[in-house]
Amino acid sequence: MSNTGKKVSMTVIDVLKSIMDDKAKKLQATIADGRRAKSEEPLICEQITALRRFVVNSRYDRNEMQEAESDLADYEQQAAGIRAKINQAGNAERDIVWVDKFNVSYAQIKQRIKNQPRINILKEQLAAIESDIAKIEHGIDICELNMAPGVYSDEVAQQAQEDMKKYQREYASVVERWRRVANEIRELER
């Protein structure tokens, strides 16, 4: 997700979640209706086929034929309704994917909001560690200048060499601490 600089309150996101939950219930009901309709469709089609044969066979009995045609019209109307439910279920199955994607995003947002106070503390620690690193690097630079041959006395160069070893150990320790904090921030921001 890109950070556009705009913040949305969790209340708004929770409202969207409740709307999506309601939509998901309706979609699931539509899908269930479509499954039932799929099982009913072959039965209705059989009835329609049988009535059509009956109408053809009853063409000489006007009353029987009219009654069968009336029943046939009812069954064809039911078949159209069943087909519409099946089509709606297909659309609902495609739409439910978006509900699932929203739910994944919602969970991620909730987790990020929950983690934000810890992330802020870690970022402050990271800034302090970076300041320590800068101080240590400055000390190393001074030691390198003090160790330059012919610039300062041997005592100053010797002390600078000992200080350099101390700074290098300290630098390795502080950089490792920086890596741990940076990794923790990365994990929490996922």
- pTM value is 0.57
Handedness of CA 10, 16, 21, 24 (dihedral sign): negative
Which amino acid is located at 25 in the chain? K
Mean pLDDT along residues 66-75: 89
Per-residue pLDDT tens over the stretch 81-115: 999 999 999 999 999 999 989 999 898 888 888 89
pLDDT tens digits for range 123-169: 999 999 999 999 999 999 999 999 888 888 889 989 999 999 999 99
Query: Using 50, 70 and 90 to split pLDDT, how confident is the model at 62?
Result: confident
The token duo for 48 is 């329609």
Look at residues 104, 106, 111, 102 and name the one whose alpha carbon lies nearest to residue 190.
Answer: 111
Give residue 152's pLDDT.
Answer: 82
